[in-house]
Each structure stands twice: as structure tokens, then as C-alpha cells.
Amino acid sequence: MNGLYIVTPDWDDTERLLRVSEQALQGGAALLQYRHKTAGPELRRIQATALQALCRRYARPFIINDYVELCLELDADGIHVGGTDAAVAAVRTAVGPDKIVGASCYGSLELAHAAHLAGASYVAYGGFYASKVKKYPLTTSIEILAQSKAEIPLPSVVIGGMTQQNSIPLVAAGADMVAAISSIYLADDPAAAAREFADLFSTSN
């Protein structure tokens, strides 16, 4: 796992969501996570189905945030769970050994170690910066990335107020993927914005 990890905003406009997501994939996004915390079950299923089809056209992994049953129903590539969502071990048991399971670890190596032992495929740290979308209870230190790389044999994802510029030191410190929402979905040119993120990895790793 390496590169730009895009996370969808809470948009009910499916056509807009698909249009911008495709532009980001064209720009080089390596993975897409469907996250819509306010959608009802019908809208969530419609959007997830359409986004998965889009990701498959571009041969990029498609991950669903939190909803294990929807992940299994669609046979999505994986699931991401937060600190207050279902336990990683339970999710791994539910989806089996072959799917991606991501875990939010905030600023805690202890949570990351536990996620690794429970069967996570990657660990996500954040927030590092103020986010327009997600509210974090703490600020994560950049030092956690080197510690994670030394202690935990899993890719690390960074999230929280990510821009192309402020991601540079995090990638240099060892982040394998940068997760972005607003910097892509609210960009004037989402494809160009995605390319700028993707270029960080072509030059740094």
C-alpha cells in the first residue's frame, strides 16, 4: 500500500460524488474509502455499489468505512474501522483472511500494536493537523511514524487536515499513504490535486 488514499465526504449527490472520485482516480489516487456517516441504508448501498464499479474500472481497491455487512454484501475489497466501531478482531473474523482491514489508531502506538495482533492490514494515525471534516480528540506527533515503522510491520496511513504541502514531512517520516478528503473533493481540479499527492510518493519512496 502506497500513495494517495481518498476518503469520500458526506455528499448525498451521487452523480457529483462519482464525478469527483473518478477525477481523483484519473489523477493517481491509489485507494478509495467510502465514508458517509449521515446516509441512510438505501443511499449508502447505491453509492457504494457505484463507487465500487468505478474503482474496479480503474483497478483500485475499494474500502467501506464501518459497515461490515455492506462490505460483505458487495464483496468490497476491504473495511475500515474506527476506535469506536467494531473491534478489529471481530471484523477480521467476519470478512475473512483475504480482505483489507484498516484500523484508526489516532495517536496511539498501543492501539496500533493491538490492531496488528487482531489482524489489521494497515494502521491509520491522525489527526496531525486541523481537519475540516473529522474532529479528533488529540493531536498526533510526527514521531509516531518512525516508531510505527520500527515496531509494527504494517503500512501506516496519515489523516487529518492533509494538504499536498503539509503531507511532505509525514511522507518523509515514513507514512505509506496519505488520506485526504477536502483537499481532493473540494479542489478546483481534483485530478491535478490527486496528482500532486501521488507525486509525493514517486519522489520520496
Chain segment 116-146, per-residue pLDDT in tens: 999 999 999 998 887 666 666 557 899 999 9
Q: Where are the domains of the chain?
A: 3-204
Fold of 3-204: TIM Barrel (3.20.20)
Question: 123 by DSSP, 3-state: which?
Answer: strand
- Model pLDDT for residues 50-95, shown as the tens digit of each residue: 999 999 999 999 999 999 999 999 999 999 998 766 799 999 999 9
**Residues designated catalytic:** 35, 104, 134
Distance CA 63, CA 76 (A): 6
Element holding 4 (H helix, E strand) = strand 3-7
pLDDT at 108: 92
Burial of 203 from C-beta contacts in 10 A (0-12 / 13-18 / 19+): exposed
Amino acid at residue number 102: G
What's the whole-model pTM score? Answer: 0.94
Helix 41-57 crosses helix 14-27 at what angle (to 10 degrees)? 30
